[in-house]
């Protein structure tokens, strides 16, 4: 269960920019996973402090008259060069002629923190593409209210981003969409809400769910879900059921040892019902993955204690979905865990690599563990 990334410090030729990392799978008939040397292909000058980078993948089958689908991605610039939150989201496009990325469009936003690209159903065989942008400021006292902007991505050949709606929000740090049958929902997760009595980190309406109306081309309030210092939202489907994970970081008085919530969609009421409470410790991220057709959930716990006195040496947990509930199957020693990313091992359906971003002293680094379905924990 121990894991770590060794420091392979050897002399390299000057034209190599990154170390070659080789992860050899030793047991059985597994093939080794080889990550070759990475060389920058094209550099993009960031105009400020990027907080989120999202690829914009438009499928050719959704653009009947498109002659060419551009390669786009959005970069949320949290601040500008002078430190002001009056910033933007830059849409970059790949130019096949010059083999460079060029600016496709600039979206003016205030403190853009989180970006969500998604497709909304307007008919059984028709859809539209959207980009949602959420603003967030940690020390926001209400003098510069943040918002969530929703852009519709126009058709080819221009693929112009057109703002169709704004939501006044309470410091959103998490955006997520989910499409259930023919209905698309957009969820906004607040880290805190400004009230006359100060910041409110927990409330019954910490997560706001909006439903897309294709006739009006607008998102309307659908429901609200409890949360507590929400920092991440996840949605996924498994066994014909749809789940929403609300990752809670802290409560109103600063405790980090709280619960995060799992919701399940109720086909009868068309609402999201609470399924389970998971104990978490300053959770920053929860990642769902499938292995051998079975569902797992891994939690990145940052620290125990309070926001004023953090203990970063804490276990992060792996859960397995069994008979309608998630059960703890393994805990991994971590230090200030921030995020998990799962990566399937090529040619091996029963193995997965879990990459974790952690904090160590003043550094941010990546560690990994090799998680196998064949092992018993």
Predicted confidence at residue 47, as pLDDT, reads 61
Predicted confidence at residue 50, as pLDDT, reads 80
Encode pLDDT of 9-32 as tens digits. Answer: 333 333 333 333 333 334 333 444
Encode pLDDT of 236-269 as tens digits. Answer: 999 999 999 999 999 999 999 999 999 999 999 9
Q: Is the pLDDT reported for residue 199 higher than 70?
A: yes
Q: Of 43-52, 251-260, 333-342, which gets the smallest average pLDDT?
A: 43-52
DSSP 8-state code for residue 319 = E
When mean pLDDT is compared over 145-149, 179-183, 302-306, the highest value belongs to 302-306
Torsion of CA 344, 37, 56, 359, to 10 degrees: 70
Burial zone of 370 (CB within 10 Å; 0-12 exposed, 13-18 middle, 19+ buried) = middle
Predicted confidence at residue 370, as pLDDT, reads 56
Predicted confidence at residue 157, as pLDDT, reads 82
Average pLDDT score, the chain: 81
Predicted confidence at residue 352, as pLDDT, reads 62
| CB 31, CB 346: distance < 8 Å | yes
């Amino acid at each position: 269960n121990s894991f770590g990334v060794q420091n392979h410090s050897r002399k390299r030729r000057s034209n190599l920019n990154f170390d070659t990392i080789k992860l050899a799978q030793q047991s059985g008939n597994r093939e080794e996973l080889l990550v070759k040397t990475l060389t920058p292909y094209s550099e993009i000058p960031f105009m400020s402090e990027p907080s989120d980078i999202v690829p914009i993948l438009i499928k050719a089958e959704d653009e009947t008259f498109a002659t060419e689908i551009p390669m786009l991605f959005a970069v949320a610039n949290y601040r500008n060069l002078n430190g002001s939150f009056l910033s933007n989201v830059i849409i970059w496009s790949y130019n096949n002629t010059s083999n460079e990325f060029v600016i496709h469009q600039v979206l003016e936003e205030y403190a853009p923190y989180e970006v969500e690209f998604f497709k909304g159903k307007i008919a059984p065989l028709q859809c539209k593409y959207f980009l949602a942008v959420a603003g967030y400021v940690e020390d926001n006292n209400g003098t510069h209210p943040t918002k969530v902007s929703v852009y519709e991505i126009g058709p080819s050949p221009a693929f112009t981003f057109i703002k169709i709606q704004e939501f006044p929000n309470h410091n959103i740090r998490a955006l997520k969409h989910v499409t259930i049958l023919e209905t698309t929902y957009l969820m906004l997760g607040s880290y805190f809400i400004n009230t006359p009595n100060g910041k409110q980190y927990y409330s019954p309406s910490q997560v706001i769910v909006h439903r897309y109306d294709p006739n009006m081309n607008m998102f309307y309030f659908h429901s609200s879900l409890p949360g507590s210092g929400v920092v991440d939202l996840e949605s996924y489907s498994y066994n014909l059921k749809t789940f929403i994970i609300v990752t809670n970081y802290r409560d109103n008085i600063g405790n980090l040892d709280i619960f995060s919530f799992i919701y399940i969609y109720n086909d009868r009421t068309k609402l999201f019902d609470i399924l389970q409470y998971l104990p978490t410790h300053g959770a920053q991220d929860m990642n769902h993955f499938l292995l051998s057709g079975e569902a797992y959930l891994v939690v990145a716990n940052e620290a125990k204690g309070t926001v004023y006195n953090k203990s970063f040496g804490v276990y992060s947990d792996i859960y397995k979905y069994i008979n309608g509930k998630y059960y703890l199957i393994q805990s991994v020693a971590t230090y200030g865990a921030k995020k998990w990313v799962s990566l399937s091992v090529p040619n091996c359906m029963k193995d997965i690599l879990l990459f974790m971003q952690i904090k160590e002293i003043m550094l941010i680094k990546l560690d990994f563990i090799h998680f196998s379905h064949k092992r018993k924990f």
